[in-house]
Structures are given as structure tokens and as C-alpha cells.
Amino acid sequence: MEGDCLSCMKYLMFLFNFFIFLGGACLLGVGIWVIVDPTGFREIVAANPLLFTGAYIMLAMGAMLFLLGFLGCCGAIRENKCLLLFFFMFILLIFLAELSAAILAFIFRENLTREFFTKELKKHYLRNNDTDVFSSTWNSVMITFACCGVNGPEDFEAVPPLPHSSLETVTPEACCQRELQSREGMIVNKEACLMGIERFQNRQGCYTVILNSFETYVYLAGALAIGVLAIELFAMIFAMCLFRGIQ
């Protein structure tokens, strides 16, 4: 009976570590995407050191979970007490680190507010200056999502116009409506847009548009994180039970 329980524990341990392996692969993939994202969201995240550091923490955690899941599977199948003990200590450290990161993310959640992004936009945005990474990234975001600023065109009232611009305009070209929402798309009526005629402008702020676009994925990411933490907890329990059961 004891041998059957040990065998069952071993395969459950293998199963949980397999899920940890998959969770680590997902976090690793998301971390790499954020860091090398060609659409430039990395540059907006880089404006906040906390968020930028968080992307690298996600990458490191994903790599560790990927490796840890693999080692846990090997330790369970081979019934190696040394590997199991190493696995338990390592996953305990990762579990505590992830829990700490979640608490810090909750504490500093005000850095993701509408006011924070509005302040950064007014401070760093240089209109159609494509040599400036921050401005070019914001232009790409506004064109891609058919939005304007964080709250709307009024965000650019404090941004000085281009020095050689012939039009006294508040709205940047990236806020103008296009036939195709890409940099290659033709502007419907550029002059009317820049003169402030609203029907040729994208009036909705990017904060609301992007929040609505990614709302489902945010909940999915949160559910995935909770699932990974639960799996890690069960894996530690099974590792200790298996460790004690091996003669």
C-alpha cells in the first residue's frame, strides 16, 4: 500500500512539475516579447524604472521556473533525494520572490494610473520627431490604436509646436484619422485635422482604448499567476512527501 502511495506521489510530482515547466515557458515568452517588442511598447514601459525592472524580473522568473520544472521532473522520476531537496529549497525561494513581487505590484499600482502617463507624455513628447524614441513610440501607439494622447487631444495643449511648422496646431499628425491604421495609411484630411476639426481626428484617449483592448488579457495573466503560485505550493508539498517516503 505504501509503495502504491509513493508511486502515485511520484507521478503527481512529475505532473505538477510539468505544469511548472509550461508556466515558466509562458513567463519566459512574455518577458522576451516585452523586452524585444518591435512595436515599441518597451520604450513606454522604460519611462517607469519599476515597470522596466519588472519585465526583466518576469524574464528571470520564467527562465528559473523553466529550469526548475525540468529538474523537478527528473528528481521525481529518478527518486533522487538530493534533487528533491534542492528542488524544494529553490522553489520555496521563487515562491517567496513571486509573492513579494505581487505585493510590490499592488503597493505601486498608482504608477499605472492615467495621471502618471499623462505627466510623462507632457514631459517627454516631441510631436513628429521620429528621432526621439519616446515620441516615435507614442506616435506608433496612437496610430495603431486610433487614439490620441492619454485622455484625448487636450493632452497636447502643453506640448510646444514644431519649430518649422506652418500651422498653429495642438493636435499631432498621429491623432489624425487614417484610411488604414498604420504609418503607411493615408491621412483622411491632414489640414482639417491639424486645424482642429474634430470629425477628422481620433478623439478618444489611448488609456481607455488600450485598457479596453487588453482587459481580458490582464485578467488572464492574473489567473495564470495565481495558478502558477498554487501549482508551486502543491509541488513543494509533494516534494517533501516524496522525500520522506524514499528509503
Coil vs helix vs strand at 222 = helix
* 80 and 132 part of one domain: no
How far apart CA 97 and CA 75 sit, in angstroms, is 23
Residue at a domain's end among 183, 204, 225: 204
CB 24 within 8 A of CB 64: yes
pLDDT tens across 33-72, in order?
777 765 555 555 555 555 666 677 778 878 887 888 887 8
What sign does the dihedral 172-175-179-184 (CA atoms) show? positive
* 93 and 173 part of one domain: no
The angle at the Cα of 142, spanning 28 to 114, to the nearest 5 degrees, equals 75
How far apart CA 162 and CA 226 sit, in angstroms, is 48
Number of domains into which the chain is organized? 2
Q: 238 lies in a domain?
A: no
Q: How far is CA 39 from the centre of its chain?
A: 14
How far apart CA 101 and CA 118 sit, in angstroms, is 25
* 150 and 96 part of one domain: no
* 151 and 173 part of one domain: yes
* 95 and 9 part of one domain: yes
How far apart CA 7 and CA 13 sit, in angstroms, is 10
How far apart CA 192 and CA 36 sit, in angstroms, is 37
* 80 and 59 part of one domain: yes
pLDDT at 1: 41
pLDDT at 82: 82
* 122 and 99 part of one domain: no
Model pTM score: 0.54
Q: 198 lies in a domain?
A: yes
What's the per-residue H, E or C state across 157-208?
Answer: HHCCCCCCCCCCCCCCHHHECECCCCCCCCECCHHHHHCCCHHHECCCCHHH
Q: Which three cell numbers stand for residue 47?
A: 519611462
* 89 and 5 part of one domain: yes
Mean pLDDT by groups of 10 residues along the chain of 247 residues: 67 80 83 68 57 74 82 79 82 82 74 80 79 83 88 81 58 85 77 84 88 74 79 79 76
pLDDT at 40: 56
Q: Which three cell numbers stand for residue 168?
A: 498653429
How far apart CA 138 and CA 135 sit, in angstroms, is 5
Q: 165 lies in a domain?
A: yes
* 83 and 1 part of one domain: yes
pLDDT tens across 159-171, in order?
666 555 555 567 8
pLDDT at 179: 82
Tell me the CA end-to-end span of the chain in Å, nearest whole number.
Answer: 15
Task: Give the structural domain span for 194.
Answer: 114-204
* 88 and 129 part of one domain: no
